[in-house]
Chains A and B, each alone.
Chain A
Amino acid sequence: MGIIMISERLKATILKELKLDDYDIQDTMRADEVPGWDSLNHINVIIAVEKEYGVRFKNIEVLKLKCIGDLQKLVDSKAENKS
């Protein structure tokens, strides 16, 4: 799998939701590697991303996310379908 660039927009959305000033977010990172992104906060991050992009993820799509790169890909595909 090639490198997926995490967009500044997605990164900013995640950091804002987690109340972090900055953090080096990489595509291969799992959610639990980011401070504050625990299982309880997961749903908050997902809702924040959905709101930011005006999209909706299906439950099963959320469950299948393994890393932040997967979230970026999902966001991109949803945004593409929307346009």
Chain B
Amino acid sequence: MNKNLDSKILWKVWKHNAETKPDKDAIVLWFAGEEPFRWTFKNLYAKAEEYAYALRKNGIKKDEVVAIILKHNIEFYPIYMGISLAGAIPAVLAYPNPRLHPDKFRQGIEGMSKRSGLDWIVSERSLEEIIAPLVNHETSTIKGIQFALEWDLSEEKDPAIVSDIIETQNSIKSSDPFLLQHSSGTTGLQKPVLLSHKAVLDHVQNYAEAIHFSESDKVASWLPLYHDMGLIAAYHIPLAYGMTQIQIDTFEWVMIPSLLLEVVSKEKASLSWLPNFSYNLMADKIQDEDIEEIGDISLESWRMIINCSEPVRYESHKKFYERFSKYGLKKHVLATCYAMAETTYAVTQTEPGVDPAFIYADRNAMSAGKIVANSSIDNSRICVSSGKLVNGCEIKIVDDNRIPVGDDAIGEVVIKSVSMFDGYRNYPEKTAEAVQDGWYYSGDFGFKHNGNYYVIGRKKDVIIAAGNNIYPEDVEDTLSKVEGVIPGRVVAFGEYDEEIGSEQVSVIVETNISLRDDQKQLKMAILKAGMLMDVTIKKIYLVPARWLIKSSAGKPSRKANKERINNNENIEWV
């Protein structure tokens, strides 16, 4: 038990860590080809206090929501903490990918802003041109952009501002909002999740017990901090618990996946959280020469690698272990968990040192909503368990009428947690849809078998491609505007790709264009439209007008039309 967490206010915990382990590495930022930068707990907190002062001086007040849009940067971390120390609420937003059209980027922020009530954006000068129109917009809630990286923090402090900050800090209660997270999406479909100090700290405490944290653990991560797994598991948990975390730039990792192995080996990291696709990417794409370039590596320090955020695939774990065991990767380090932003993070977790349970679930029985274990893979789907309940969490599996079902029956996973969110901010209708009598309806399908929970799919149509949530509506709306596409006659869905270990985006598009050469041009226009919203469309199926089947709601049905494509139904052009 980490007594330090009892204070129930995050910044008090950070302060305590700065006082009790001043010279210990808190955050190590790893840059390829450079010496890592090391924040000690003491220096990090001291810098955060300086930012808190500067933020307040620049007009940021208690309870205001401050979005951060910054690249991997050493100052990101004290700025984030400074926002909290100033009594405001930090929200990390994704840095715009160069392929994302500026209008689309702004549209996304505007959508968020409507719900979240974003008050300020902390960003860098190079994004000013893109972000400024958002601030100048008549209906915008955003008061201004703060270029915190340009601030001179050495100037003498005004005692009135200092005492104002202290007064604010003393007024903060553990039930007060601490951070705001957004689900993914690009056109305002994001749901803002507000978490209190208490929710986060209770979760750190409960999750620590589940995976046996110790202060000597070190977390290695390349996960983006606008995602709950990166923000809570790889950043807040070690920061609060007093562990060292090593952060790698997401873009550098995806270009050089061996960076994670280098970090684990050189920093002797013990914990990582990864989405399923990254097991395939590292096992398939890291060549022996990449590892030779690093030098002798040892992965013996890795005690848990936790697969989360995408459906867990047995084959992905197998190939990862087979590829890296010769570098000291120990057996039984591959773990799983089930988590979501609405419960702060983890709901279930496998036990340290124990392989996740798996079963050969009979496909026919699964179609009928039942789990029947086969003795071999024939006509089976391998389902990998996400473990047992984390303390403070409860799960029910329910049917379509929200009535609980027994073990080995498939239903929606419904959760209650001491670290539950307080509802979607300014979104009562979505909150009412998702939360009933204190239970959160996850929209995920799963079952319980022999005491373990398994998550096998989604009730919602959201596509999870390489750990990113993509809403089909976003893709469909965008493609409907492409010349040659019949407006409103598009469906987007995910198709599992064995090679990458994740879903890819596929679309079925109605068009009146029947000439082959013209269709090629249309496909290219569709690809480009996807690029501008930072979505790579893997497969495009062109179909003639009136090919798509409508659902009872009168819109083209994603499920039925995907099935038609998968059944290789004939497509006839007149």
Residues of A within 8 A of B (CB): 21, 23, 30, 32-33, 35-36, 38-44, 47, 56, 58-60, 62-63
Q: A19 — nearest CB in chain B belongs to which residue?
A: B538
Check B285 against A56 for contact (C-beta < 8 Å): no
Type the 1/0 row for B237-277, where 1 means its CB is closer than 8 Å to any CB of A: 00000000000000110111111000000000000000001
Check B500 against A40 for contact (C-beta < 8 Å): yes
Interface SS of chain B: helix, strand, loop or mixed?
Answer: helix
Within 8 A of A (CB), among B281-298: 281, 285, 287, 289-290, 293
A50 to chain B minimum Cβ distance, whole angstroms, is 9
Check B32 against A63 for contact (C-beta < 8 Å): yes
Asked if B527 is at the interface of the complex by the 8 Å CB criterion, the answer is yes
Check B254 against A42 for contact (C-beta < 8 Å): yes
Asked if B98 is at the interface of the complex by the 8 Å CB criterion, the answer is yes
Check B281 against A38 for contact (C-beta < 8 Å): no
Q: How far is the CA of A58 from the CA of B290 in the complex (A)?
A: 8
Check A35 against B524 for contact (C-beta < 8 Å): yes
B-side contacts of A47, CB under 8 Å: 285, 287
Check A36 against B536 for contact (C-beta < 8 Å): yes
Given A32-B98, A33-B99, A59-B256; A43-B285 close (CB under 8 Å): yes
Partner of A35, one of B98, B254, B531: B531
Check B285 against A59 for contact (C-beta < 8 Å): no
A-side contacts of B466, CB under 8 Å: 40
Asked if B331 is at the interface of the complex by the 8 Å CB criterion, the answer is no
By size class, the interface of chain B is 20 to 34
What is the number of contacts between chain A and chain B, taking CB atoms within 8 Å?
A: 58
Within 8 A of A (CB), among B488-514: 500
Most interface-central of A23, A33, A40, A41 (chain B CB within 10 A) = A40
A-side contacts of B381, CB under 8 Å: none
Check B32 against A59 for contact (C-beta < 8 Å): yes
Other 17 A-B pairs with CB < 8 A, given A21-B520, A35-B524, A63-B252:
A32-B531, A33-B99, A36-B527, A38-B99, A38-B534, A39-B97, A40-B277, A41-B536, A42-B254, A47-B285, A58-B293, A59-B32, A59-B259, A60-B32, A63-B33, A63-B255, A63-B256
Check B255 against A43 for contact (C-beta < 8 Å): yes
Q: How far is the CA of A56 from the CA of B287 in the complex (A)?
A: 11
Q: A63 — nearest CB in chain B belongs to which residue?
A: B32
Check B528 against A39 for contact (C-beta < 8 Å): no
Given A30-B98, A32-B97, A32-B99; A39-B255 close (CB under 8 Å): yes
Q: How far is the CA of A44 from the CA of B466 in the complex (A)?
A: 15
Check A35 against B527 for contact (C-beta < 8 Å): yes
Most interface-central of B255, B257, B287 (chain A CB within 10 A) = B255
B-side contacts of A39, CB under 8 Å: 97, 251, 254-255
Check B536 against A62 for contact (C-beta < 8 Å): no
A-side contacts of B99, CB under 8 Å: 32-33, 38
Given A32-B531, A33-B99, A59-B32; A43-B252 close (CB under 8 Å): no
Q: B250 — nearest CB in chain A belongs to which residue?
A: A39
A-side contacts of B277, CB under 8 Å: 40
Partner of B255, one of A30, A36, A42: A42
B263 to chain A minimum Cβ distance, whole angstroms, is 13
Partner of B290, one of A23, A30, A59: A59
B503 to chain A minimum Cβ distance, whole angstroms, is 12
Q: How far is the CA of A60 from the CA of B290 in the complex (A)?
A: 11
A6 to chain B minimum Cβ distance, whole angstroms, is 19
Type the 1/0 row for B395-417, where 1 means its CB is closer than 8 Å to any CB of A: 00000000000000000000000
Check A43 against B33 for contact (C-beta < 8 Å): no
Given A32-B98, A33-B99, A59-B293; A43-B257 close (CB under 8 Å): yes
